[in-house]
Structure 1
Amino acid sequence: MANGFTDEDDALLAELGVEVETKKHVSRTPREERIIAGFEEIQRFVDEHGRRPQHGEDRDIFERLYAVRLDRISESNECRDLIEPMDRQGLLSGAALAATDDTDELDDDALLDALGIAVEAPAITELKHVRSTAEKKAAEEIANRDRCEDFARFKPLFEQVQKELDTGLREARKFELKSEIAPGRFFIVGGQKAYVAEMGEVKLTDQGRTDARLRVIFDNGTESNMLMRSLQRALNADGDAGRRISEPHAGPLFSDRTIDGDEASGTIYVLRSKSDHPLVAENRDLVHKIGVTNMSVEKRIAGAHLQPTFLMANVEIVATYELYNINRTRLENLIHRIFEPARLDIEIMDRFGRPFVPKEWFLVPLFAINDAVEKIKDGTIASYAYDPAQAQFIRRSGGA
């Protein structure tokens, strides 16, 4: 049927007193479809960033395009009449009506022209071909690199950063602000890691904006003496591929007390099982479950004897660590990867007689778990690997 329901569905809904409304197909002109599609792109931007697109040379090319497009739509009576029914975010509310209904300027090429941006391809759908003069200059600065003569002193830094990315101590996040560019920071631009080794004196440009000369080292052994704004533009031009690499200490991971502004994230808990399974009973002081929860641990373990993840037995809490300002899931995955060599190999039956292989139990002494927590706290965990034969952490070859 036209409404997507079968006759039986309609009958059932009618018995429930639900009126089935058949939607009418609305025919739109190509121009109207183009205007709606353009507005939907603006809506997706607002959904993702939580704000209206803004003007400014320091803004991403897409955001600037959306900002101009929204202005054009707001200024056109015809566009407002078309768009207002779908304006769920109130983007048109309070905007002044213009005295024109001319929508020709809604063409993306015309919008880019209004921004002073040259179109190098016949279709705006290929925005990767659309670059301003400033963006071209930034790309040239990125491309024009010299061999880094003292790369040997930087290579270990790149290796350490990669280890910390692999273990979750660092994250590659979308680049957003120029203020993120500072000495000692790492970025991903043009598919390569970049390290800001030095920053010269910060000066004002003719346009009244701050800028500074940088020494940027790349992980392929080259370097560039480029401007801060050039690096910013190159990162923005990369779109989602332009990333900044977070610091290993974005906030306190564990704390005995909160600091003003800290947000509680949850608790790491270490449990010991009371199961009578032979493997568990013979190694009771070594068999531990390590998990993370955002509820009280007592509530988390309620009814443990009915849950296969708790080995169908009651448990006792042997240690807890409070978390602040950290992603619980990523931290739990990190801890489990650290102790992967000591994961307990056991299969039990749930209360329905079905086999189950728990993943969060490890043959590891409590002191080693404490050691892991301390190494995560001080940021050195990436330099170590857990050796179950020695029940201790061993420094990796080449570790800092």
Structure 2
Amino acid sequence: MNKKTLDDIFNDDDFGLLDIKTKTSNVKTEENRLIDAFEEINLFIDKNHREPNTSSMSEYGLYAKLRNFKENETDKKTLKPFDRHNLLGHVEIDELTIDDIFNDDDLSLLETDNELDIFKYKHISKSDDRAETDFVAQRKPLKEKEFEQYEKMFQNIHQEIREGKRQIKNFVNIEKNLHIGNFYMISGVLLYLESANLKQEVWEQKSGNRVRVEGRTRTIFENGTYSNMLYRSLGKQIQKNGKLITNIDNRIEQGLFVDAN
């Protein structure tokens, strides 16, 4: 009988029983308050299909907040991942490079002896390396006419979430829960997995080869962009920073849902 390795145990944890949940504070940070204020504006546009204006006192508060957000470059960088209506326009996000990390190492914590082989990777498969590269795949903008059909669809999803017809759940197990035609969320932005060219690939592990699903996807984001990132790279992003949106027909079977806690 083959003994299970730790990799086998964690990869077979369909219900996320081994996930460690850290304790969170109920005290909101300044960044959280900023995001909450911006989400109020998003919800107003979801409901009214327009930006707030000065026609009433209740709208004027949202109008003033949005104007301040648009004029504050620091706030724009924080809020752009949540800008599903593209209210902030193009925002240049500063990306941290490896050189920046090493140049900022005042205490020389990252300096290592050349002969230390702890940093020499020996057992990383080519497929893992490719997945990490694809993990940061660039999104491309859709033409306005092309995005119209998707925009209405995303608005309906938000409405169904508010009405309780759909639920937002934690996402575990890529192959069981990442399906064509379903909706997900990454960093507060809804996405739609429209299509995927999937096939089975052999994944090399020390404990033995395993077969897994891989392929290019076409993924539409509610901020008017799309991506063709790899299937598993998309799944990893959702696991790290996202959620799963349940289907309406699945609501009756929530107790049997593979992601149930």
**TM-score normalised by structure 2 residue count:** 0.44
Higher RCO (C-alpha 8 Å, min separation 6) = 2
**TM-score normalised by structure 1 residue count:** 0.30
Quick check: which has more Rg, 1 or 2?
1
